[in-house]
Amino acid sequence: GILLLVRKQTNTDPAQPDKGSKIEASTVCSKNNTVKETLDKEELRLLVKILKAIGHTCEHQNISIKQGISHYQLHDTTLIFDDVSTADTQQTIHLSPLSRMLKDPNQKRPTWEKLKALKN
């Protein structure tokens, strides 16, 4: 979704000084927006740990979510967190979804086996 920032009206009554302006965030979503477009805190934490384990620092601008599937651009390779059993190409490596690895730690092993080749 799109995040809109809306500034609250400031208090002009001198008897009640303004305690600083606050910014409220509201999300604008389309009616059919059932696809997850962001990583939750636990998924992001797991992604950071995975990248750290192979010697890379997670950079937020390299994360993208397309049709609910997390992608991470690691140099010339795109890590796609959709299905670890999907065949890889020269430019893509398919891994278990972050949400599935959080629910089922056994999903981490096949992901790690694929990522060991990228380790610095």
Residue 53 belongs to a domain: yes
The number of domains in the chain is 1
Among 13-17, 62-66, 113-117, the range scoring the smallest mean pLDDT is 13-17
pLDDT at 24: 40
Residue 4 belongs to a domain: no
d(CA 80, CA 95): 6
Residue 6 belongs to a domain: no
Percentage of residues in the chain with pLDDT exceeding 70?
Answer: 69
Residue 94 belongs to a domain: yes
Which residues fall within 8 angstroms of residue 119, CB to CB, at 6 or more apart? 53, 54, 55
* Residue 61 lies in domain: 41-118
pLDDT band at 21 (very low <50, low <70, confident <90, very high): very low
pLDDT tens-digit map of 67-112: 999 999 999 999 999 999 999 999 999 999 999 999 999 999 999 9
pTM of the predicted model as reported, rounded to 2 decimal places: 0.68
The pair of structure tokens assigned to 105 is 């730690």
Please count the other Cβ atoms lying within 10 Å of the Cβ belonging to residue 54: 15
- Stretch 47-56: mean pLDDT, rounded? 94
d(CA 88, CA 6): 44
Residue 64 belongs to a domain: yes
